[in-house]
Chain A
Amino acid sequence: MKRKTWFLAMLCMAVCFSAGSVFAGAYDAFQGKEGTIKISGGTAHIPVMQALAKEIMTRHPGIRITVAGGGSGVGIKQVGEGLVDIGNSGRKPTDEEIAAYNLKVHQWALDGVAVVVHPQNPVKSLSLQQVQAIFAGTATNWKDVGGPDKVIHVFTRDEASGTREVFWKKALKKGPVTATADVVPSNGAMKTAVATDPAAIGYMSVGHIDASVAPVTLDGVKPSVETVRNGTYAVSRGLYSNTKGEPSPLVKAFLDTLYSPEGRAIIERQGFIPVP
């Protein structure tokens, strides 16, 4: 009896797997291809990259895809030096970088950078001036911005972060960031830091926001997929995957999948807006 159930379970699994490969339209491009794709860079990109890599690798076991972080700067540098096949960046590579490394830039999503606080923090709305004052270190207590009497713990990102660059340009208007702010090295680390500290304020990719942190409404606009899509939330940026020159057939198939209906569904599921 037991053996029979087991057999049935195996049969079901076999049917599921084969059905998967039969109906996988966008993943047919990988048919008969083998090899490794190495990806590194922007930490905002990681959930999409991993979800897509999983879909491809379960269907085509001959393909190995590795996804690493490091930050936008690392992505551009590593792909430029040929260490990885795809270097992700949460900012458009500069003209100098494109020229120096002969980069080909592929944008596949739009993402917002939101100010986040702990969910228990009653402050859920700030003006741009207040955010600038908090990050500059001139407003140091939550009661200065309508919250409880608690010292504000400011969290910022490392020097190579594309998220930091976009936030600094578009929200802080290139204003100063206090030297005493704590520095965390990734979007994930920012989420952990803010989620575990009731007095924290930080900023991160909109796609990475979940129930453990609360996004802050900025000048009356709540950062969300909709407001980023229709352009009312101004602190937004593209998500880019860069290759050195023309990509190899395998890498090109991977990038094409990002623009297919299946890829766009994954991008949307992770909280980003697929483009074009």
Chain B
Amino acid sequence: MKRRVDGLRSEKAVRMALATAVVTAAALTGAIFLYMLVLAFPLFAHGHVFRVLIQDWAPLQGRYGIRPMIGASLALSFGALALAIPVSLGCAAFVSIWGRPKPALFVRRFVQTMTGIPTVVYGFVGAFLVVPVVRDVFQAGSGRCLFSAILVLSLMISPTMVLFFIDAMESVPKAYVLAASALGAGPAEKFLWVILPCARAGLITGVLLAFGRAFGDTLISLMLAGNAAVFPSSLFHSVRTLTAHIALVIAADFQSLEFASIFACGVVLYAVNAAIALVAWNLRSRLLENRP
């Protein structure tokens, strides 16, 4: 009897400890957001709130807008996704459905290894391999551009996405696939009409997570995208993402409005990533409810 009470007590303690951890983590996240808002305040007070978001970046003329950086971050993330999603889908389908066991296992191990490579390695390799090739092949600018960054960033976000996709595809009940086969469906039909719809929750989660990674990545864009603070109008123009802007301006004078602008960037990054997390959460719970 006594032992049981002890057990309950220790369970209560564990619950308390976990609850404290959760509340602390949540409070910290909220505090960071508030902190950024407070520090970005000089900039918002200096002009209209929206002016900061829609103006261009020309510190010498007194304009501290971050519109070019928002555009660059979005263009880079969506560009990388557009390239990485088809590749990842194909790769995951090979591993979980179509491939022979041995090559499939090899690809799976290979992808798992790729997830462990630090970003700076991708950036470094990109600076010495991708940039000169892009410069020579397309003859447009220095090769440090949106396109180079998209190429390397898509390579970086693919492995995580592939692993998510594999999990999602393997969790589709075998009975469904067999039933489709019995109805005379070929491999392509099974993939398009059975596996993809059944795995959609996992697929969407993988894509959203990859988007978050691409949007928040600093080193690849800092090393490969060129960092010119102009709104992206061509794949081959030098662009500066929100994260690279923070990295480049962090050293400026503490009291300056340049410095305040990095907190505006932080607020935007935070808001976008929070929105993605909420959408992912919402979609997932809705899809799980609808599951047959």
Using a CB–CB distance below 8 Å, which chain A residues touch chain B? Answer: 70-74, 77, 97, 151, 153, 155, 158-160, 176, 179-185, 192-193, 196-197, 199-200
Contacts and interface: CB of A to CB of B under 8 A. Distances in A.
A181 B228 contact: yes
30 contacts: A70-B251, A73-B253, A77-B254, A153-B141, A153-B142, A155-B142, A158-B248, A158-B251, A159-B251, A160-B248, A160-B251, A179-B58, A179-B228, A179-B230, A180-B228, A180-B230, A181-B238, A182-B144, A182-B228, A182-B238, A183-B226, A183-B227, A183-B228, A183-B248, A185-B222, A196-B127, A196-B128, A196-B132, A197-B132, A197-B142
Contacts of A200: 142
Given A185-B247, A196-B132, A160 B252 contact: yes
A180 B258 CA distance: 18
From A73, A184, A199, residue with most partner B Cβ within 10 Å:
A73
Given A180-B230, A181-B228, A158 B249 contact: yes
B90 to A, nearest CB: 33
A214 to B, nearest CB: 17
B59 interface: yes
B135 A73 contact: no
Nearest to A184: B227
B228 A192 contact: no
B144 A180 contact: no
Interface of B: 57-60, 127-128, 131-132, 135, 141-144, 222, 226-230, 237-238, 240, 247-254, 258
Contact of A159 (B127, B142, B228, B249): B249
Nearest to A177: B60
A261 to B, nearest CB: 34
Given A70-B251, A193-B142, 13 more contacts: A73-B251, A97-B253, A158-B227, A159-B248, A182-B142, A182-B228, A183-B226, A183-B228, A196-B131, A197-B132, A197-B143, A199-B142, A200-B142
Contacts, number: 72
A167 to B, nearest CB: 15
B236 to A, nearest CB: 11
A73 B144 contact: no
B125 to A, nearest CB: 13
Contacts of A74: 250-251
A192 B227 contact: no
Contacts of A160: 248-252
B232 to A, nearest CB: 11
A176 B60 contact: yes
B30 to A, nearest CB: 25
Contacts of B57: 179
A151 B143 CA distance: 12
From B143, B249, B250, residue with most partner A Cβ within 10 Å:
B250
